[in-house]
Amino acid sequence: MERLFLKLKENWDLHREIKAFGAYLKNPIWDMILEIPSAPKDLDGTEIARYVREKAPTKKDVRGELSQVIKAMKDSRQQRGLCRMKCACGMQGLVYPLMADANIFGYIVLCGLKKNMSPELEEIFTAFTDAVIRESRKELELEDMNKTIRPRAIALSTVHTVHRLMTSTLDPAELLPRIARLSLQIIRANRCSIKLVDNRRKSLIPKVTVDLRKKKTKLKKVEIGKYAPGKAVKKETPIRGANYLATPMIDEDVVGVITVYDKLDGKPFTPFDEEIMRTLSEQAGIAIKNAQLFKEQEDITLSSIKCIARLLENRPHGSRRAEASYLKLISIIGPKFNMNESEIKMLQYAAMLHDAGQISIPEKLLMKKGGLTGSEFDIVKMHPMKGASVLSKFKPLKPIVPIMLYHHENFDGTGYPEGLKGNEIPLSARILGIVGAFEAMITEKPYRKALSIKDAIKEVEKNSGVQFAPDIVKVFTEAVQRRDVMRLLEKELGKK
Partner 1 sequence: MKKDLKKLLKDDLAGKILVFFYQNQASVDSVGGVSTWVNDDRKKVLAVLDELVRLGVLDEDSTGAIKGYCYTRDKKVMKTVEELVQDV
Binding site for partner 1 (CB under 8 A): 151, 154-155, 157-158, 160-162, 164-165, 168-169, 178, 181-182, 184-188, 212, 264, 276
3-state secondary structure of 410: coil
The least distance separating partner 1 from the CB of residue 184, rounded to whole angstroms, comes to 7
| Count of positions (residues) in the chain | 496
Sheet arrangement for strand 239-240: 222-223, 203-211, 189-198, 253-263, 244-251, 239-240
The least distance separating partner 1 from the CB of residue 38, rounded to whole angstroms, comes to 42
Tell me the residue type at 201: R
Q: Which residues contact 186 (CB under 8 A, 6 or more apart)?
A: 158, 162, 276, 280
The least distance separating partner 1 from the CB of residue 212, rounded to whole angstroms, comes to 6
User: Which of 142, 311 has the CB closer to partner 1?
Assistant: 142
State phi, psi for 41 to the nearest 5 degrees: -65, -20
User: Which of 168, 297 has the CB closer to partner 1?
Assistant: 168
The least distance separating partner 1 from the CB of residue 465, rounded to whole angstroms, comes to 35
User: Which of 8, 187 has the CB closer to partner 1?
Assistant: 187
User: Which of 191, 328 has the CB closer to partner 1?
Assistant: 191
The least distance separating partner 1 from the CB of residue 261, rounded to whole angstroms, comes to 14
Nearest CA to 420 among 403, 432, 406, 433?
Answer: 406
Nearest CA to 129 among 100, 158, 151?
Answer: 100
DSSP code per residue over 188-237: TEEEEEEEEEETTTTEEEEEEEEETT--------EETTSHHHHHHHHHTS
Instruction: State which H helix or E strand residue 163 sits in.
Output: helix 119-167
The least distance separating partner 1 from the CB of residue 277, rounded to whole angstroms, comes to 11
User: Which of 222, 280 has the CB closer to partner 1?
Assistant: 280
The least distance separating partner 1 from the CB of residue 167, rounded to whole angstroms, comes to 9
Tell me the residue type at 129: T
The least distance separating partner 1 from the CB of residue 249, rounded to whole angstroms, comes to 18
User: Which of 155, 205 has the CB closer to partner 1?
Assistant: 155
User: Which of 188, 320 has the CB closer to partner 1?
Assistant: 188
User: Which of 168, 481 has the CB closer to partner 1?
Assistant: 168
| CA–CA dist 165, 187 (Å, integer) | 17
| CA–CA dist 366, 446 (Å, integer) | 8
User: Which of 170, 365 has the CB closer to partner 1?
Assistant: 170
Contact 309, 353 (CB under 8 A): yes
Tell me the residue type at 368: K
The least distance separating partner 1 from the CB of residue 174, rounded to whole angstroms, comes to 8
Nearest CA to 297 among 345, 339, 238?
Answer: 345
Contact 496, 452 (CB under 8 A): no
* Number of Cβ atoms within 10 Å of the Cβ of 12: 9
State phi, psi for 12 to the nearest 5 degrees: -65, -40
